[in-house]
C-alpha cells in the first residue's frame, strides 16, 4: 500500500466510512509490505473513532499483535487491556496479555491474566474448553520454566483430563513427572490410560524412560512426521539430487544448533570447531537458540568462518539461506531437542544431512542420511535400531581440552561432604534417575556402610522425595547429599572430591561423564541397548578404563561395592586417568576432528556415486505401537534376554490382523511365512530360526 493509499484509508476512517473487515484487509496489506507502524496507526485511529462499535476489541487485539511482534511489549499490554475493557469475555486477549507480560519479565502478572481468563469460563462449550486448555498450558509452561514442577504437573493433569489426546501436553506432563522422580511416571488416571501417557512421551524423554530402542525409533519417526507439515511447497529448495563436485574448492559443512553457547553441547564442540582444517573445510554455523553472549559463545563465533543467526528466520528463509550458501554436508546438532529446527532439514537444503552429537538416538526421518557414532555406542548388531546409515569414529563425542576449571579447589567440608566417607556421586539430571537405578544405588549403599551419595541439586520437593525413598530402602536420608548448582568452572573444580561416579540407566552420563573423567574421577557404568545407555561406556573405554564397564546391572552393583572397599584400587584408577588425559582417545580432539572430516568426505564420495543411503522407515508405526504396550516401569528391558523375540511375537500378531511388509529389522520374509502358517507351525518356526541364527 502506498503512502497516498494509507492517507486515503485514514480519511475514510475519520469520515466513518470504513467497515471492520475493510480495516483488517487494509492493515494486513500494510503489514505484509513491511509497514507495521502504519498498520498499527490504522487500528488505533479506527478504534478511537469507533469506540462504541460492538467489535472494537478486535481492532485493539490485532493492533496489539503487531505491537508485540515489533517488540513493543509495553504498548501491546496497554492495547490488550483496552481490548479486555471493551469486551471482558473476549478470551484471546487474556491469553495474549499473559504472554506479553511474561515476555516483559512480569511473570506473576502474566499468570494472573491466565487465571482471570479461567475464572471467566462458565459454559461448557468446545471453544471454552479449548481456551481453558490453552491457558492451562501457558500457566504450566511458565511454572516449569521457574522450577515449580509440582504445580506445573497439577495444571497439566487438569488439561489432560479435559483432552487426553494433546501430545504437547502429555510430553510436558511426563517430562515433569520424570524430572521429579515420580514412579511410576506413567500412572494412569481418569480417562487417561498408561498407553496414552507412554505414547505421548517426547523422544528425548523416552531415552530416560526405557531401554527400548525399537520403541524409540518408532516414536522418533512418528514425532518427526507430526512435527513437519509435509506439503509440496516444502521442497522449494530441495537439493537432494544435486551431485557434489569438490573440484577446485573446499568442502562446505554447516552445523545447525541452538546450543553453540554456555550449554553442554557448546562445551563439547568449541575446540573441534577451532581445529577444522581450513585448507579442506569451510565451516558454517547456523544458530537457532536463545539470545546468547558470553565467552563460550564468542569463542565459537570466532572459530567458524560464517555465523548466521536463523532465530528470526522462517523455516523457508533459513533453508533458502543454507541452500544459497551451497552447503554440502548439513549437520543436525539438535536432533529431537529443545529449539530444534527439524522443519529446516525437512526442506532438504543440502545434499547430505547428518545426525551427530546433540541427540542421543535416531531421528527416524526420510531426510537424515547418516548418524555419526562409534563401535561401542552403535555396534554392528544394533544398526537395526537406526533409520540412518551408521558411520563411526574411534569415539563419537568431541570434547574440550581447554575447558576452564576454577583454580580454587574446595575441601570436602566446604561441599558438605564428610571427610572420612567413601563418596559416590552422580551429577546427572534428576530425570535420568529411574526406579531401577535408585534400587541399584540402594543395594550398593546398603553394602557400603558409611558411604554417601552426592547428587546434583533439584527442586526441594524432588530432593525430599529421594530422601524419603532413601529411608524406605534402609539407607538413611542423611546419606544423600545434594550439590548446589554452580557455574561450570566451579562445578568442575569440585569433582575430585568424589571417589566414584555411578552412572544412571537407561539414559547415562554423557557430558557429565567426560567432565568427571577429565577431572580424574572414575566412572562406573554398564551398557544397555539404546544409544543413550551406551554413551557412558564408550567414553569410559576411550578414557582408558574399560574395566569399569560392567556387563550387567548385577555386575555393576558388585563392582561398586568392591571398589568402595578398596582405596588402593580407586587411587590406581584416578592415577590412570591423570596419566592418560593428554593421550587417550577421549580427549584427542585432533584425531576426532580429522576423523570427522574424513567421514564427511566419505559421505560426499558416496553421494557423488549415487549411493546416498535411503532411510528405511518400514513398519515403524507397528514397532511404535508394540513398544507402547510394554510395561516398561515393571520390567527393565535392559536385562530382557528375549527382547527381539518378544517383538517378533507381537509383530506376528499384528501381521495376522493387518499384514505388514518385510523390513530390514526384525520382520523378514521368513517371519511373514511363519506368521501366515498355521498357529502351531508358527510357534515351531521361530525357535528353529533362532537356533539357526545362533
- The confidence score (pLDDT) of residue 694 equals 27
- The confidence score (pLDDT) of residue 123 equals 59
Specify whether 568 is located in the same domain as 596.
no
d(CA 27, CA 103): 25
Domain assignment present for residue 621? The answer is no
Domain assignment present for residue 102? The answer is yes
Work out the pLDDT band at 233, boundaries 50, 70, 90: confident
Angle between helix axes 149-162 and 460-472 (nearest 10 degrees) is 90
d(CA 155, CA 159): 6
Domain assignment present for residue 427? The answer is yes
Specify whether 318 is located in the same domain as 175.
no
**Cross-strand partners of 424:** 453, 500
d(CA 410, CA 17): 75
- The confidence score (pLDDT) of residue 145 equals 85
How much is the average pLDDT of 94-117?
87
Query: What HEC string does 152-191 produce?
Result: HHHHHHHHHHHCCCCHHHHHHHHHHHHHCCCCCCCCCECC
Give the single-character DSSP code of 487: -
Instruction: Determine the 3-state secondary structure of 634 from DSSP.
Output: coil
- The confidence score (pLDDT) of residue 687 equals 45
Does 213 have pLDDT greater than 90?
Answer: yes
d(CA 377, CA 392): 9
- The confidence score (pLDDT) of residue 304 equals 98
In this predicted model, what pLDDT tens digit does every residue of 20-75 receive, in sequence order? 888 888 888 888 888 889 989 998 999 999 999 988 888 898 999 899 988 999 99
Give the single-character DSSP code of 616: -
Work out the pLDDT band at 688, boundaries 50, 70, 90: very low
Specify whether 304 is located in the same domain as 428.
no
pTM to 2 decimals?
Answer: 0.85
Q: Tell me the CB-side half-sphere exposure of residue 138, using CA atoms within 13 A.
A: 28
Q: What is the CATH number of the domain that holds 419?
A: 3.40.50.2000
Residue with cell 469507533: 50
For residue 273, the tally of other CB atoms under 10 A from its CB is: 21
* C-alpha 594, offset from chain centre: 28
In this predicted model, what pLDDT tens digit does every residue of 480-530 receive, in sequence order? 999 999 999 999 999 999 999 999 999 999 999 999 999 999 999 999 999
* Share above pLDDT 70 across residues of the chain, in percent, rounded to a whole number: 96
- The confidence score (pLDDT) of residue 125 equals 62
**Cross-strand partners of 616:** none
Q: Tell me the CB-side half-sphere exposure of residue 244, using CA atoms within 13 A.
A: 28
Lowest-confidence range among 88-97, 206-215, 225-234, 412-421? Answer: 88-97
Specify whether 594 is located in the same domain as 577.
no
- The confidence score (pLDDT) of residue 54 equals 87
Specify whether 423 is located in the same domain as 539.
yes
Specify whether 596 is located in the same domain as 480.
no
* Grid coordinates belonging to 56: 472494537
- Nearest CA-CA partner of 540 in 575, 504, 514: 514
What domain count does the chain have?
4
Work out the pLDDT band at 122, boundaries 50, 70, 90: low
Domain assignment present for residue 210? The answer is yes
Specify whether 66 is located in the same domain as 100.
yes
For residue 277, the tally of other CB atoms under 10 A from its CB is: 12
Q: Residue 651 sits in which domain range?
A: 641-693
Residue with cell 549411493: 611
**Boundary-marking domain end, from 180, 204, 227:** 227
Does 131 have pLDDT greater than 90?
Answer: no
Instruction: Determine the 3-state secondary structure of 37 from DSSP.
Output: helix
Specify whether 219 is located in the same domain as 312.
no
Give the single-character DSSP code of 497: G
Specify whether 217 is located in the same domain as 241.
no
Domain assignment present for residue 308? The answer is yes
Residue 312 and residue 339 in contact, taking contact as beta carbons nearer than 8 Å:
no
Specify whether 378 is located in the same domain as 454.
no
Does 325 have pLDDT greater than 70?
Answer: yes
**Boundary-marking domain end, from 170, 194, 227:** 227
Element (H, E) at 204: helix 203-209
Work out the pLDDT band at 14, boundaries 50, 70, 90: confident
In this predicted model, what pLDDT tens digit does every residue of 184-212 receive, in sequence order? 999 999 889 999 999 999 999 999 999 99
How much is the average pLDDT of 456-470?
96
In this predicted model, what pLDDT tens digit does every residue of 623-660 receive, in sequence order? 999 999 999 999 999 999 999 999 999 999 999 999 99
* Grid coordinates belonging to 277: 582444517
**Which long-range contacts does 272-280 make (Cβ < 8 Å, 24+ apart)?**
272/398, 272/589, 272/592, 272/593, 272/596, 273/300, 273/303, 273/304, 274/299, 274/303, 275/589, 275/590, 275/593, 276/593, 276/597, 277/593, 277/594, 277/597, 278/250, 278/305, 279/250, 280/250, 280/251, 280/597
Domain assignment present for residue 53? The answer is yes
**Greater pLDDT, 261 or 691:** 261
In this predicted model, what pLDDT tens digit does every residue of 420-443 receive, in sequence order? 999 999 999 999 999 999 999 999
- Nearest CA-CA partner of 629 in 609, 658, 649: 649
Domain assignment present for residue 618? The answer is no
Specify whether 126 is located in the same domain as 262.
no
Domain assignment present for residue 626? The answer is no
Q: Report the chain's mean pLDDT, rounded to a whole number.
A: 93
How much is the average pLDDT of 86-101?
86
**Boundary-marking domain end, from 227, 249, 272:** 227
Specify whether 482 is located in the same domain as 449.
yes
- Nearest CA-CA partner of 136 in 109, 149, 118: 118
Amino acid at each position: 500500500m502506498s503512502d497516498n493509499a494509507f492517507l486515503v484509508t485514514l480519511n475514510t476512517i475519520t469520515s466513518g466510512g470504513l467497515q471492520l473487515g475493510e480495516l483488517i484487509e487494509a492493515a494486513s496489506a500494510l503489514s505484509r509490505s513491511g509497514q507495521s507502524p502504519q498498520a498499527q496507526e490504522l487500528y488505533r485511529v479506527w478504534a478511537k473513532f469507533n469506540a462504541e462499535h460492538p467489535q472494537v476489541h478486535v481492532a485493539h487485539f490485532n493492533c496489539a499483535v503487531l505491537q508485540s511482534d515489533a517488540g513493543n511489549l509495553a504498548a501491546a499490554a496497554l492495547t490488550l487491556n483496552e481490548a479486555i475493557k471493551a469486551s471482558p469475555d473476549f478470551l484471546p486477549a487474556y491469553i495474549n496479555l499473559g504472554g506479553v507480560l511474561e515476555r516483559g519479565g512480569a511473570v506473576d502478572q502474566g499468570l494472573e491474566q491466565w487465571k482471570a481468563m479461567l475464572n471467566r469460563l462458565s459454559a461448557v462449550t468446545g471453544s471454552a474448553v479449548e481456551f481453558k486448555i490453552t491457558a492451562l498450558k501457558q500457566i504450566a509452561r511458565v511454572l516449569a520454566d521457574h522450577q515449580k514442577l509440582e504445580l506445573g504437573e497439577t495444571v497439566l493433569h487438569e488439561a489432560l483430563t479435559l483432552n487426553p489426546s494433546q501430545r504437547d501436553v502429555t510430553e510436558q506432563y511426563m517430562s515433569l513427572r520424570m524430572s521429579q522422580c515420580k514412579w511410576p511416571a506413567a500412572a494412569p488416571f481418569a480417562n487417561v490410560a498408561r498407553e496414552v501417557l507412554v505414547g505421548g512421551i517426547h523422544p528425548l524423554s523416552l531415552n530416560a524412560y526405557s531401554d527400548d530402542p525399537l520403541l524409540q525409533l518408532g516414536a522418533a519417526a512418528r514425532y518427526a512426521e507430526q512435527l513437519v507439515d509435509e506439503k509440496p511447497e516444502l521442497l522449494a529448495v530441495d537439493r537432494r539430487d544435486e551431485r557434489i563436485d569438490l573440484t577446485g574448492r573446499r568442502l562446505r559443512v554447516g552445523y545447525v544448533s541452538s546450543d553453540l553457547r554456555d550449554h553442554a553441547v557448546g562445551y563439547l564442540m568449541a575446540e573441534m570447531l577451532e581445529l577444522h582444517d581450513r585448507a579442506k573445510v569451510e565451516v558454517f554455523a547456523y544458530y537457532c537458540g536463545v539470545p546468547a553472549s558470553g565467552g563460550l559463545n564468542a569463542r565459537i563465533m570466532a572459530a567458524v568462518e560464517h555465523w548466521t543467526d536463523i532465530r528470526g528466520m522462517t523455516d523457508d528463509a533459513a533453508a533458502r539461506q543454507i541452500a544459497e550458501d551451497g552447503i554440502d554436508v548439513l549437520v543436525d546438532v539438535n536432533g529431537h531437542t529443545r529449539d530444534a529446527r527439524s522443519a529446516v532439514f525437512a526442506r532438504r537444503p543440502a545434499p547430505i544431512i547428518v545426525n551427530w552429537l546433540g541427540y542421543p538416538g535416531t531421528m527416524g526421518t526420510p531426510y537424515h542420511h547418516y548418524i555419526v557414532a562409534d563401535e561401542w555406542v552403535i555396534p554392528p548388531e544394533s544398526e537395526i535400531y537406526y533409520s540412518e546409515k551408521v558411520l563411526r569414529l574411534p569415539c563419537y563425542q568431541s570434547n574440550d581440552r581447554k575447558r576452564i576449571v576454577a583454580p580454587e579447589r574446595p575441601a570436602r567440608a566446604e561441599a558438605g561432604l564428610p571427610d572420612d566417607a567413601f563418596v559416590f556421586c552422580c551429577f546427572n539430571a534428576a530425570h535420568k534417575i529411574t526406579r531401577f537405578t535408585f534400587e541399584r544405588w540402594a543395594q550398593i549403599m546398603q553394602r557400603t556402610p558409611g558411604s554417601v551419595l552426592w547428587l546434583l541439586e533439584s527442586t526441594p520437593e524432588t530432593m525430599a522425595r529421594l530422601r524419603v525413598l532413601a529411608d524406605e530402602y534402609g539407607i538413611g536420608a542423611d546419606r544423600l547429599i545434594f550439590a548446589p548448582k554452580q557455574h561450570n568452572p566451579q562445578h568442575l573444580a569440585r569433582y575430585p572430591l568424589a571417589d566414584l561416579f555411578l552412572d544412571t540407566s537407561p539414559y547415562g552420563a554423557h557430558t557429565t561423564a567426560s567432565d568427571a573423567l577429565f577431572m580424574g574421577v572414575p566412572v562406573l557404568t554398564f551398557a544397555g541397548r539404546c544409544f543413550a545407555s551406551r554413551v557412558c561406556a564408550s567414553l569410559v573405554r576411550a578414557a582408558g578404563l574399560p574395566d569399569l564397564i560392567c556387563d550387567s546391572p548385577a555386575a555393576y552393583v558388585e563392582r561398586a561395592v568392591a571398589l568402595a572397599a578398596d582405596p588402593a584400587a580407586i587411587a590406581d584408577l584416578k592415577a590412570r586417568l591423570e596419566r592418560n588425559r593428554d593421550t587417550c582417545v577421549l580427549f584427542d580432539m585432533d584425531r576426532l576432528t580429522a576423523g570427522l572430516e574424513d567421514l564427511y568426505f566419505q559421505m560426499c564420495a558416496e553421494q557423488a556415486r549415487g549411493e546416498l543411503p535411503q532411510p528405511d522407515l518400514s513398519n515403524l508405526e507397528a514397532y511404535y505401537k508394540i513398544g507402547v504396550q510394554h510395561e516398561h516401569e515393571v520390567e527393565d528391558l535392559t536385562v530382557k534376554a528375549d527382547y527381539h523375540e518378544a517383538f517378533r511375537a507381537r509383530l506376528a500378531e499384528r501381521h495376522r490382523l493387518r499384514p505388514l511388509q518385510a523390513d530390514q529389522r526384525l520382520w523378514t520374509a521368513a517371519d511373514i511365512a511363519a506368521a501366515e502358517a498355521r498357529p502351531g507351525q508358527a510357534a515351531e518356526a521361530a525357535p528353529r530360526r533362532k537356533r539357526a541364527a545362533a
